[in-house]
Amino acid sequence: MPCFAPQRVADPWSYGNWFAQVQSVYVRMTRLLAAALLATVLPALVHAQDAIKSRPLKIVALGDSLTAGYGLPATEAFPSKLQRALNAKGSHVEIVNAGVSGDTATGGLERLDWAVPPDTDAVIVELGANDMLRGVDPKVTRAAIDTIVRKLRERRIAVLVCGMVATPNLGQDYADAFNRIYREVAQTHGALYYPFFLDGVATQANLNQRDGLHPTAAGVDVIVSNILPTVEQLVARVRSGSKS
């Protein structure tokens, strides 16, 4: 009579089989979850990026009377004309006029938090002319502008620092200390730098109002034309996501 050796039947619930089954289920679930996330999260990210690109980029012009548009209609002020120039070149931007006539750098610092709202993408800083006209110690002006730029950079806001030039009657020592504030602050914080806001306009009688200090509408046109390439660099930084 034939003798058959008993055959061992694998226990489907042995530890090895159980672990393999659980691992297989886990892998399938992980793949399904990853696919679901890609199907939902990726379109949302793309939509968010498209929204950022499609909405107007918000730039705040933080300055004094040169920004505010002293003696001019609001539509002829620097922020309005700069926005029109950028829009005409295809840049979808909104420029907010945060200029206050008579403001010093310290004054700009004091109102910084409410003058630059949370949804701001970039700031053009134009301050210091009144400090110079009043003979404020350049150390005070430097400290204020440095703090303004530092706080904006901490908020991940791109910054363009506009320089000012001291008048000769203040003496060479004052001029040397004052004039280098803007370049050095910009370099310290990785901001863009425009050497002289009134370039091409200062001392030009036909481009200034009767006080000889504030530009006419034609003077603002010159300022906008000169600074436009640098502001376009500012816009490009924001659009590329590189605000350093």
- Domain limits, the chain: 11-54, 55-240
Question: What is the pLDDT at residue 55?
Answer: 83
* Residue 61 phi, psi dihedral angles, 5° rounding: -95, 100
Q: Which of 121, 131, 146, 214 is catalytic?
A: 214
Q: What's the chain's average pLDDT?
A: 89
Q: Which of 54, 119, 173, 211 is catalytic?
A: 211
Q: What confidence tier does 28 reach under pLDDT thresholds 50, 70, 90?
A: confident
Per-residue model confidence as pLDDT tens digits over 195-221: 999 999 999 999 999 999 999 999 999
For the purposes of burial, counting CB atoms within 10 Å of the CB of 109, is it exposed (0-12), middle (13-18) or buried (19 or more)? buried
More confident residue, 148 or 35: 148
In CATH terms, the superfamily for domain 55-240 is SGNH hydrolase (3.40.50.1110)
> Is 211 among the residues known to form the active site?
yes
Question: What is the pLDDT at residue 40?
Answer: 66
Question: What is the pLDDT at residue 134?
Answer: 97
Q: Which of 64, 65, 80, 121 is catalytic?
A: 65
> Is 214 among the residues known to form the active site?
yes
Residue 48 has pLDDT above 90, yes or no: no
Q: What is the CA radius of gyration of the chain?
A: 30
Residue 84 has pLDDT above 80, yes or no: yes
